[in-house]
Amino acid sequence: MQFRLERRREPSRFMLYATPVAAVLLTMIIGAIIFSAIGFDGIGAVREIFLTPLTNSYKWQDLGVKAAPLIIIGVGLSISYRANVWNIGAEGQYIMGGLAATWVALASHGAGGWWTLPAMMLAGTAGGAAYGAIPALLKTRLNVNEILTSLMLTYASVQLIYYLVRAPWKDPMGMGFPQTRRFASEALLPNIFPGTIVHAGVPIAIIVALVAWFIMSRSVFGYQMRVVGAAPHAARYGGFSENKTIWLALLVSGGLAGLAGMLEVAGPFQRMVPGFPTNYGFTAIIVAFLGRLNPLGVIFAGIVMAITFVGGEVAQTTIGLSNSATGVFQAMMLFFLLAGDILVRYRLRRVAPQTEAGI
């Protein structure tokens, strides 16, 4: 008996939704088996990583706060990837957004007001978009591969943080430690539920995803992005400009990453520190794929990723599972998810062997 992959006429909608769920379930089952086999508490690990964050209502606020930046960046990236523009420098755009917002917060320190947060938001979005504009410019003008430029720029931006917090922006009262001063209260995001840590970034993330979903599925802009991505040649005949799409994709994904950077620095961080780059930009790439490049799917995916992060810490404290084991679990989930992709576009057909000696 042999199996053969056969291309589907249309991507399977069932598989589109079923494979991410199956990937998570498979990770739980196979993860439990493998980890038990090598001497860990495999079932406990799965329970603590995947279930405890969901069943313990106290953890929900953590999930929201951890998922919010992943969702915002993931939404921007899914729009970009739909258009076949491979921005993998969201981490750098997130950093530049955070730095631009920090600049506003520091410059207005002591002279801020109601306008400080909106100004920081604008600056953050603009900072991220501007950093996304560099690969866009190079791609449209000189046809330079955006995957490579956006990645390189990310590593340069990390060094920019280190420099700024070590030298010109260093907190004068901070005992020489490399970090900025704590932002004034006008420059801090308000908590929306008293007594929790849920800040304004969480509802913003949901709104961003919903708006993006609406635009992508219901507007000419969304149609253009999807057409250029799916069939660039057809799009050219349809009068859609490929260059315009590249610009839009990088500005939108960069801008949203910058917005996420602003929300993080003004929300949980409250000052710029060298530890600001927390890989949200890279994790969001995975979130975008886990969410099937659909803004609503990205909400789901962002929460799933947040569960594994939060659950990984739970597992460390409750069953002593090391941090590295959580990384292996995450990678395993991604592998299953990526492997499942093919079932969306192909179906598995059983074929009878044609000749006995054929193999």
Partner 1 sequence: MTLELVIAIIVTVVGASTPILIAALGELVVEKSGVLNLGVEGMMLVGAITGFVVVFTTGNHYLAILLAAGAGVATSMIFGFLTLSLSANQTATGLALTIFGTGFSALAGQGYSARPVTLLGPLFPAELAAHPVWRVLFGYSALVYFSFVMVFAVWWFLKKTRSGLILRAVGENDHSAHSIGYSVVAVRYGAVAFGGAMAGIAGACFPLLLTPQWAERMTAGRGWIAVALVVFASWKPFRLLAGAYLFGLVMTMELYAKAGGGPLSAIPAELWAAMPYLATVVVLVLISIRRDASSNAPACLGRPFLPSN
Partner 2 sequence: MTLNRRNLLKIGGAAAALPLLGSKAFAQTEPLKVGFVLVGTINDNGWNYAHNQGRLYLEEQLGDAVETVYVENVPEGPDCERVLRELAQQGCKLIFATSFGFGDSVIKVAEQFPDITFEHATGYMRADNVGTYNARFHEGRAVCGTIAGHMSKTGKAGYIGSFPIPEVVMGINSFVLAARKINPDFTITPVYISTWNDPAKEADAARAMIDQGIDIIAQHTDGPAALQVAEERGIVGGFGQGADMSAFAPQAQLTSIIDNWGPHYVKTAQAVLDGTWESKDSWPGLAEGEVMIGEYGPKVPEDVVAAAEAVKNGQIDGSFNIFTGPINDHTGAEKVAAGVTLTDAELLSMDWYVEGVIPPA
Per CB under 8 A, residues contacting partner 2 are 58, 62, 65-66, 162, 166, 175-179, 182, 197, 264, 267-271, 273-276, 278, 309-310, 313-314, 316-318, 320, 322-324
Query: Which one, 65 or 95, has the nearer CB to partner 2?
Result: 65
Which residues, other chains included, contact 215 with Cβ-Cβ below 8 Å and sequence gap of 6+? 221, 222
Secondary structure letter of residue 294 according to DSSP: -
Query: Which one, 186 or 313, has the nearer CB to partner 2?
Result: 313
Site for partner 1 in 263-282 (CB under 8 A): 282
Contact 332/14 with Cβ under 8 angstroms? no
Nearest CA to 318 among 74, 65, 43, 37? 43
Site for partner 1 in 323-352 (CB under 8 A): 323-332, 334-335, 338-339, 341-342
| Residue linked to tokens 């755009």 | 93
The total of other beta-carbon atoms located within 10 Å of residue 87's CB is: 32
The verdict on 246 binding partner 1 (CB under 8 A) reads no
Identify the bridge partners of residue 7 per DSSP, sorted by sequence position: 346
Quick one: what does residue 107 bind among partner 1, partner 2, none, with the CB cut-off 5 to 8 Å set by partner type?
none
Query: Which one, 219 or 322, has the nearer CB to partner 1?
Result: 322
Min separation Cβ 204 and partner 1, Å: 25
Contact 288/301 with Cβ under 8 angstroms? yes
Query: Which one, 317 or 354, has the nearer CB to partner 2?
Result: 317
Window contacting partner 1 (CB under 8 A); options: 62-70, 160-168, 222-230, 242-250? 160-168
Contact 85/246 with Cβ under 8 angstroms? yes
Nearest CA to 101 among 275, 249, 271? 271
Query: Which one, 56 or 323, has the nearer CB to partner 1?
Result: 323
Q: Token pair of 217, please?
A: 């599925």
Q: Which amino acid, residue 166? A: R
Quick one: what does residue 348 bind among partner 2, partner 1, none, with the CB cut-off 5 to 8 Å set by partner type?
none
- The span from the CA of 109 to the CA of 132, in Å, is 28
Tell me if residue 9 falls in helix, strand or coil. coil
Q: Which amino acid, residue 261? A: G
Min separation Cβ 203 and partner 1, Å: 28
Identify the residue among 30, 152, 210, 215 touching partner 1 (CB under 8 A). Answer: 152
Secondary structure letter of residue 359 according to DSSP: -
Maximum alpha-carbon separation in the chain: 84
Size of the site for partner 1 (CB under 8 A): 43
Quick one: what does residue 338 bind among partner 2, partner 1, none, with the CB cut-off 5 to 8 Å set by partner type?
partner 1
Min separation Cβ 323 and partner 1, Å: 8
Measured CA distances, 168 to 29, 175, 179, 245 (Å): 51, 15, 10, 38
Q: Which spans of this chain sit near partner 1 (rule: CB under 8 A)? A: 7, 86, 88, 138, 142-145, 147-149, 151-153, 155-156, 159-160, 162-163, 166-167, 282, 285-286, 289, 322-332, 334-335, 338-339, 341-342
